[in-house]
Amino acid sequence: MHRKPLLALLDRYQLRHPDEAGEIDRIRDLVQSHDDCFLRNCLPGHVTASCWIVSDDARRCLLTHHRKLGRWLQLGGHADGQADMGAVALREAREESGMADFESIVPDDGCAVIDIDVHVIPARRSEPEHEHHDIRFLFRAAEGQALQISDESNDLRWFGWRALDQTDADQSVFRLARKSRAVLEANGLL
């Protein structure tokens, strides 16, 4: 599995967010030290990808109420061996939303990564506690697409920006929302 493109993305992301060097280094260390970092059986953690999805007018955000974790999250999931994190995020957007048509919104510096996050996934059945090293992207959904809740979700819902505060999302989701909103505003989409 080719890890150089992800390492290059992390380098470009760090130029925009030098204050996140610690978190970036954690992901970089995992990628450099584990040939199998894109596989879910890689422990102590593995690389995942997710996306912040906005409606075509960018006034609403799509969140899923995750069945296993029991809280509102952005859509995303395991790489399952795929090294192209943007493609993983797009695949997960399609699988978890039922929609097919998305536009990737990229900041002015050309680095498509909007946010990164390392978070702990609790032990469950035969799966030990482990970390997800999440690479996050911003997508805009094309108009007129119907939502379809996946087996991984209890619910799937559009939220206005202000309504996000009424969810049980964690701080990393709120941070992702802030960063996505800033990119949308900088691109004249909001």
**Using omega within 30 degrees of 0 as the cis cutoff, is the peptide bond preceding 44 cis?**
yes
Mean pLDDT along residues 162-186: 93
Check: CATH 3.90.79.10 for 4-186? yes
pLDDT tens for each residue of 101-110: 999 999 888 8
105 neighbors 187 (Cβ within 8 angstroms): yes
Please give the structure tokens belonging to residue 161. Answer: 């920006």
Q: What is the mean pLDDT of residues 157-178?
A: 93
Domain ranges of the chain: 4-186
pLDDT recorded at residue 21: 97
- pLDDT value for 1: 52
User: Widest CA span of the chain, in angstroms?
Assistant: 47
User: How many Å apart are CA 87 and CA 68, to the nearest integer?
Assistant: 24
Summarised one tens digit per residue, pLDDT across range 19-29 is 999 999 999 99
| CA dist list (Å): 178 to 102, 156, 164 | 20, 20, 11
The CA-based dihedral angle spanning residues 163, 169, 173, 178, taken in that order and rounded to the nearest 10 degrees:
30
